[in-house]
Amino acid sequence: MEMSRLIEPRTLRGFRDYLPALMIPREHMLEKCRQVYRSYGYAPIDTPALEYLEILKGKGGEESDKLIYSFRDHGDREVALRFDLTVPFARFAAQHIGKLGTPFKRYHMGPVWRGENTGHGRYREFWQCDFDTIGTESNASDIEVVLVINDLMTALGFERIEIHLNNRLVLNGLLEEMGLAGQTAAVLRALDKLCKVGKDAVAAEMAEKAGVSRGQAERVLALAEMQGGNREILDHLRREFGTNPRAAEGINRLTELLDVATSVGIGEERIRLDLSIARGLDYYTGTIYETFLLDKPDIGSVCSGGRYDNLAGVYTKQRLPGVGASLGLDRLLAAMEEMNLVPSVATPAPVVIVQFSPEYLGEYQKMGRALRAEGIRVEVYPEAKKIGQQLQYAEKRGFNVALIAGADEFAQGMWKLKNLARREETAVPAAEVPAAVRRVLGMG
């Protein structure tokens, strides 16, 4: 083949390959998420990557629509790659809820595609891990979302986290009191920028977009910026807004949520009422969740969600209220890379069997099988290269143990077991190799 005809191997901008050292922790994280979701009875579903454009478009606003990858397929249908897992879930629910019945709890983990600006480490393909309960307005489901987020973060190895909670009903109650009930969306959109632009700019936007007076804006901002312990904030809210039935409902839901979280033993320091979080999305109507890593707050919320009144109104007349959240898996993984929390291990197997000579392949694979039967993952080196070369390979990839046997060892019924971290070598009778390896690997 002439060199000039080589195609340059490269990925599209905003897309990335996952090499083993990064894919191993990613699979580990996905598995942890699955375990946590399942442990609460959320059932897995999957939907196609490609949908009719009509199904996906117009659900997340104009800005989102611009980012959708869409095209005409072989049958000249207008199709698009899914932009998130929420819109496909709405379509899915409308289509299948008669068969599934309610309440319905699902999780869905998969890639989504957005033609984003690739600045600030943004990717155009990334995984989301969503979980939702639909078909019920019960606060039990709102409460459970916090328990799930707590367990998720623990399972993923993040102990220093803070789950921020709000309930939109409180603000809605206040706006209702002030005669601004119709302006909720505009007020929320302004409020969502509080952190970035400050109070004055928010008040100005509320005045311009929603006709909110200076005095009204101050009350809204005072609510959003309320500081203090969770119980303190609840007491304060009850005193200030408790007479409005809508606000009272929100306050009661937050109170019940905190009570249950405390009673099941979630540390108080992990949960924080934060009346400033609004999540610009219009469809949230009740509880709101955001989750921050205390050691990496700048990456923003890593698990967010909320309660919505109706999931699938564009596809069905059946009202489907629900609550859920979405874990930004790849964002979390990128954060872990930056925090040097990703170990540089490029093998899923901790044990390598060195190949002394191909004539013993049967013996090597027999030992491999014996180890696998005991739950120990093991690679048999494919070539009878120099032992030094094979050990070098093993160290570079991050193997923990090398097993070595040639003519002498087989004659004696022994194996050499090399602990690669400690550079210690011991001789072990063949039958005792699995137990010896388990000890070195700390498998008890």
Based on CB atoms, which residue is closest to its own copies, 10 or 196?
10
From 29, 33, 51, 145, residue interacting with its own copies (rule: CB under 8 A): 51
* Burial (0-12, 13-18, 19+ Cβ within 10 Å), 79: buried
**Shortest distance in whole angstroms from residue 383 CB to its own copies:** 5
Report the site for its own copies in 52-81 (rule: CB under 8 A).
52, 54-55, 69, 71-75, 77, 79, 81
CA distances from 357 to 316, 348, 360, 396, 404 (A): 67, 24, 6, 22, 11
Based on CB atoms, which residue is closest to its own copies, 46 or 338?
46
**Shortest distance in whole angstroms from residue 162 CB to its own copies:** 20
Compute the distance between CA of residue 132 and CA of residue 271 in angstroms, rounded to an integer: 20
Q: Closest by alpha carbon to 89, among 316, 263, 259?
A: 316
Per CB under 8 A, the segment of 47-55, 181-189, 235-243, 297-305 that binds its own copies is: 47-55
- Count, residues in the chain: 444
From 252, 255, 316, 419, residue interacting with its own copies (rule: CB under 8 A): 316
Based on CB atoms, which residue is closest to its own copies, 42 or 292?
42
Per CB under 8 A, the segment of 162-170, 291-299, 343-351, 402-410 that binds its own copies is: 343-351
# of chain residues touching its own copies (CB under 8 A): 112
**Shortest distance in whole angstroms from residue 295 CB to its own copies:** 26
Based on CB atoms, which residue is closest to its own copies, 3 or 411?
3
Per CB under 8 A, the segment of 46-54, 333-341, 416-424, 434-442 that binds its own copies is: 46-54
Q: Residue 26 interacts with its own copies (CB under 8 A)?
A: yes
> Edge-to-edge strand order for the sheet containing 424-429?
378-380, 351-353, 401-404, 414-419, 424-429
Other CB atoms within 10 A of residue 339 CB: 12
**Shortest distance in whole angstroms from residue 308 CB to its own copies:** 15
**Shortest distance in whole angstroms from residue 152 CB to its own copies:** 12
User: First-to-last CA distance in the chain?
Assistant: 54
Per CB under 8 A, the segment of 163-171, 216-224, 229-237, 344-352 that binds its own copies is: 344-352
Query: What are the backbone angles phi and psi of residue 221, rounded to the nearest 5°?
Result: -70, -35
Buried b (16+ CB within 10 A) or exposed e, 343-363: eeeebebbbbbbbbeeebeeb
Q: Closest by alpha carbon to 159, among 269, 260, 261?
A: 269
Report the site for its own copies in 124-163 (rule: CB under 8 A).
124-125, 133, 136, 138-141, 143-144, 147, 151
Rounded to a whole number of angstroms, the CA Rg of the chain reads: 28
* Burial (0-12, 13-18, 19+ Cβ within 10 Å), 252: middle
Report the site for its own copies in 361-390 (rule: CB under 8 A).
361-363, 365-366, 368-369, 372, 377-383
Determine contact, residues 355/364, Cβ cutoff 8 Å.
Answer: yes
* Burial (0-12, 13-18, 19+ Cβ within 10 Å), 66: exposed
Based on CB atoms, which residue is closest to its own copies, 62 or 298?
62
Report the site for its own copies in 96-115 (rule: CB under 8 A).
96, 99-101, 103, 105-106, 111, 113, 115
Based on CB atoms, which residue is closest to its own copies, 27 or 425?
27
Nearest-10 Cα torsion for 56, 60, 66, 68: -40
Report the site for its own copies in 216-275 (rule: CB under 8 A).
256, 259-260, 263-265
Based on CB atoms, which residue is closest to its own copies, 121 or 348?
348
